[in-house]
Amino acid sequence: MTSSKTQYHVSLRGDAILTSSRWNKGTAFSMAERKAFGLTGRLPNRVNTLDEQCERAYDQLQARDSPIRKNCYLQSLKNQNWVLYFALLSRHVRELVPIIYTPTEADAIASYSRLFRRSEGLYLTLPDQDTMEQDFLEQVKGRSIDLIVCSDAEQILGIGDQGVGISAAKAVIYTLIGGIDPSRVLAVTLDVGTNNEDLLNDKLYVGWSNKRIRGEQYDQFIDKFLQLVRKHLPHCLVHFEDFGVTNAQRILARYRDTHPVFNDDIQGTGAVTLSCVMSAIGVTRTKLSDQRFIVYGAGSAGLGITKQLRDAMVATDGIPEEEADTKFWLIDRNGLIRQSTPDVREDLRAFIRSDEEWSSFTGKVGLLDVVKQVKPTVLIGCSTHAGGFTEEVVKTMAAHCERPIILPLSNPCRLVEVKPSDANEWTRGKALLATGSPFPPAKMPNGKDYVIAECNNALIYPGLGFGAMLCQARKMTDTMIIAGARRLAELSPALEDPDNALLPDFEDAPQVNFEVAVAVAEQGIEEGSAGVDWSKEEVRAQAKAQLWEPVYAEYTYDPHGEA
């Protein structure tokens, strides 16, 4: 990785530089630059500051009357001018992240083919795999790439299979909140078809109109892509996004020991949830291994959370993994996952409960049944079952727990397992709460507002990625992720006031992720996973030097410079 410079030698002139999103400054080009780059007749006379451009762009944005229109405007701005785009976002983080990311980005992806204007990133399609290496090199030649965000778009949260949809929003968050140079990031679509009939029957669909490929042919396609990354970009972090439950864990397990790879749906969700729980047990003054966890929803997110909590329990409390497995009760559409549950995925087998301990139940064992028998201290929802945590479930839990930890994490807000205001009311303000989407504060019995922490992956995954890139990690280890989660938990406002939020405010996400990155890189160096020769004491200074910031540099025209 390299830091953003204050001066560049650029070879583009005229319309070429004005249409380059990386180099364009618009009306912020100085008079000297306008003369040097042939722009004096292509721009109006006034030279604007970046602040003035942001004010103008924000006014234009506000004229759009819906989140999806705002999303489209911001996408257009990004295609025109990276610095202005990121500068505008950085001035309005809380307001605009929900527009460019969860939840509005889901609507944009669902309408990807209808809204399509300009290609972005790299599209690799299964029937064209014979030219994959050539297509790959066309995109990366002459570039230094630190991060690839790739997706096969099978399981986009809340909207499912979208066939083809570039993972640009994740890459944007890496830059906005993690400080990653956008010129060193590549978004990749792995188009293996779609089972979405609406898309297959849409004449405007821009992807491969074919049923989704599975099995050996799918695995060979994914492997061919990963081997290209290993061959040409051996130090590049690969971020997996929105892979289906049948593939996500399997692909991560296959490649995590041979290349720095990261699955946000599994590890990012698990890490930020771990931070939430660490913060909560800091309030209750208990240990991870003291908890009894019910995880409602056993897909990629639920399993990722479970494994992250289990691994942290082993690492921090020193108990055997087999004992840690017994602290979890997982529930899916068939009820509690136990020996007699049909069609249990292989990756869930460590958490199967015995039929013997539930012998008094016939048929499906539901959430309320499990809560009554287990008396959990932590209830985690990632089921997208709106209202699944009923009043009876919550009150039953609270009757046996002084400070119940309740984390309804499903997105978007309409799919949340329980509204935090209801959970707060039903527990008489005892619950320690966090949600996956933003919610307003809940009122405590004493009249005080209880700030609902947003358990948003963006509070941690950019820092996890930046830390791995910073130390040139050979792989992203569990201990590196736990180190980042622990650092996030240490920044919890609840540790200063137990009735405050379990996680830092989202507006502080850039500073928080910087701290996460430092912790991850320090752990990588300490355990020998890093590819740099620094000491731990040098990490913070190196991280500061390598942050990318959205400010205009000075340009000098050079026919042999950067393009």
Q: Are 127 and 165 in contact (CB under 8 A)?
A: no
Structure tokens at 281: 């047990």
How far apart (Å, rounded) are the C-alpha atoms in residues 392 and 427? 11
How far apart (Å, rounded) are the C-alpha atoms in residues 528 and 525? 5
- The string of DSSP letters for 41-77 reads TTS-SPPPPHHHHHHHHHHHHHT--SHHHHHHHHHHH
Report the DSSP beta bridge partners of residue 328: 293
481, 454, 455: which is closest to 468 by C-alpha? 481
Q: Is position 85 annotated as part of the catalytic site?
A: no
Structure tokens at 131: 């030219």
Pairing mode, strands 328-332 and 335-336: antiparallel
- The string of DSSP letters for 396-431 reads HHHHT-SS-EEEE--SSGGG-SS-HHHHHHHTTT--
Q: Which of 85, 101, 112, 123 is catalytic?
A: 101
Q: Is residue 554 a known part of a binding site? A: no
Q: How many CB atoms within 10 Å of residue 518?
A: 24
Residue type for 357, please? E
DSSP state of 296: E
How far apart (Å, rounded) are the C-alpha atoms in residues 76 and 56? 15
Q: Is residue 323 a known part of a binding site? A: no
Q: Is residue 202 a known part of a binding site? A: no
DSSP state of 497: -
522 in helix, strand or coil? helix
Instruction: Please name the residue that has the structure tokens 């007749």.
Output: 41
Report the DSSP beta bridge partners of residue 148: 186, 238
How many degrees, rounded to 5, is the angle at CA 421 between CA 418 and CA 425?
Answer: 100
Pairing mode, strands 442-443 and 449-450: antiparallel
Q: Is position 73 annotated as part of the catalytic site?
A: no
Where is 221: in which H helix or E strand? helix 215-232
C-alpha R_g of the chain: 24
Q: Are 265 and 243 in contact (CB under 8 A)?
A: yes
Q: Are 244 and 267 in contact (CB under 8 A)?
A: no
Q: Is residue 242 a known part of a binding site? A: yes
Report the DSSP beta bridge partners of residue 370: none
Q: Which of 170, 307, 327, 419 is catalytic?
A: 170
Q: Are 213 and 126 in contact (CB under 8 A)?
A: yes
Listed in sequence order, the residues at least 6 apart from 21 whose beta carbon sits closer than 8 Å to its beta carbon are: 78, 79, 80, 81, 82, 85
Q: Is residue 456 a known part of a binding site? A: yes
- The string of DSSP letters for 85-117 reads HHHHHHHSHHHHHHHHSTTHHHHHHHTHHHH--
How many degrees, rounded to 5, is the angle at CA 430 between CA 301 and CA 488?
Answer: 45
Q: Which residues are annotated as a binding site for a divalent metal cation?
A: 241-242, 265
**Residues designated as active site:** 101, 170
Q: Which residues are annotated as a binding site for (S)-malate?
A: 411, 456
